[in-house]
Amino acid sequence: MARASFSQATWLVAEREMKTLVGTKGFWIGFLFTIAGLFALTVLPTVFGGDDPEVAVVGSASQVVQGKALDVREVGSVQEAADLVRADEVEAAIVPDGAGIKVLALNSPPNSVIRELVESPPVELLEGSVVTSGQRSVTVIVFGLVFLMFGMGGAAIAQSTVTEKQTRIVEILVSTVPVRALLAGKILGHTILTLGQVVVLALVAPIALRVAGLGELLGVVAPALGWFVPFLMLGFVLISSLWAVAGALVSRQEDLGSTMGLVMLAVMGPYFGVQFFYENPVVLKWMSFVPFTAGVAMPVRLFAEQAAAWEALLSMGILAATVVVILLVASRLYTGSLLQTGARVKLSKAWAPAE
């Protein structure tokens, strides 16, 4: 009789995982949510924050505001202007004061208006960078969020594993194909799906940036994106194998929560680590070499032009080596726990050689 080879079995498992996941509503909701979130992060600030501040102007003060980026409303008297400020219809009022002018505001100095009225001194940056700190924080947030979304998305692997254990189809599967093919197929299937989503995002991202008027940022982000994608994929494989083990250790969906915590920590920890410490170059440098945080930290450093290509390659090498080690460990734990039903399987028992 014909026999499915290891790679055929792996592919069949991967194919089924993909079809199943794509057939669920949750997958599409999650994906659309990610796209919407990215648009919101990049586009909304310019839509809502881009308007010129509105000011009321009285008499001779109108000369001062000419040619400034202010939305001017001329009124007849100081009293009238003050009323508009109190009614919160304008941000501030600019009124004559002796020979000069005075700004009226409600309860705090209107910085955006004042900035327009004073002449700023020339600034020379000694260590200039094409990337502003604002752009950097946007990149940290976007890279971090994408990593978080896909990392958490890997939970589908845990769920699919538990489904197989809970329904006991696992007995048929295990008597048919090697357990490693099951594990490999799951990771492969979900990795391909994630890669597909990343590609769609990479195609959508430039549109979002153009809409936001950040077209020039694109040129800066593109190379970092080139690094981000392989880091993201390796990071995903790393997390995936952990999700698979989390699923194999329990026998019912209801018990999944007890093993998912640690994996969630492995996804969220690095996310928050990078969000909190990206402005600390020393911590960021360390994080860019630690496998779990490298996926976000290294692309951010590359984006900020703080890291050389060799550092990225080294970090990726460390990550790849970790992936191999974790895959081997996960495969043993997965094999050791897949057929154990009942209570949650202890890690030591999953690791022990089969009886």
Kindly tell me which residue out of 79, 176, 258, 280 binds another protein, with binding defined by CB under 8 A.
Answer: 176
Number of other CB atoms surrounding residue 243 within 10 Å: 31
# residues contacting another protein (CB under 8 A): 28
Kindly tell me which residue out of 169, 200, 268, 343 binds another protein, with binding defined by CB under 8 A.
Answer: 169
From 118-126, 162-170, 223-231, 283-291, span contacting another protein (CB under 8 A) = 162-170
Smallest distance, another protein to C-beta of residue 39, A: 32
From 118-126, 171-179, 213-221, 291-299, span contacting another protein (CB under 8 A) = 171-179
Looking at this protein, which amino acid is placed at residue 324? V
CB-based burial of residue 283 (10 Å sphere; 0-12 exposed, 13-18 middle, 19+ buried)? middle
**C-beta of residue 231 within 8 angstroms of C-beta of residue 295:** yes
Smallest distance, another protein to C-beta of residue 339, A: 6
- With respect to another protein, which residue has the nearer C-beta, 88 or 355? 355
Kindly tell me which residue out of 79, 167, 258, 280 binds another protein, with binding defined by CB under 8 A.
Answer: 167
Closest CA to 346 of 337, 334, 335: 337
The alpha carbon dihedral of 216, 219, 224, 225 has a sign of positive
Smallest distance, another protein to C-beta of residue 330, A: 20
Number of other CB atoms surrounding residue 271 within 10 Å: 21
Smallest distance, another protein to C-beta of residue 302, A: 42
Alpha-carbon span 241 to 258, nearest angstrom: 17
- With respect to another protein, which residue has the nearer C-beta, 91 or 164? 164
- With respect to another protein, which residue has the nearer C-beta, 220 or 345? 345
Kindly tell me which residue out of 137, 159, 163, 322 binds another protein, with binding defined by CB under 8 A.
Answer: 163
Angle at which helices 215-248 and 179-211 pack, to 10 degrees? 160
Token pair recorded at residue 110: 């209107």
Restricted to residues 3-32, the positions that interact with another protein (CB under 8 A) are 3-4, 8-9, 12-13, 16, 20
SS3 227: helix
- With respect to another protein, which residue has the nearer C-beta, 4 or 328? 4
Closest CA to 52 of 92, 8, 104: 92
**C-beta of residue 266 within 8 angstroms of C-beta of residue 292:** yes
Kindly tell me which residue out of 52, 54, 83, 171 binds another protein, with binding defined by CB under 8 A.
Answer: 171
**C-beta of residue 316 within 8 angstroms of C-beta of residue 230:** yes
Kindly tell me which residue out of 117, 174, 218, 318 binds another protein, with binding defined by CB under 8 A.
Answer: 174
Site of interaction with another protein (CB under 8 A):
1-4, 8-9, 12-13, 16, 20, 163-164, 166-178, 339, 354-355
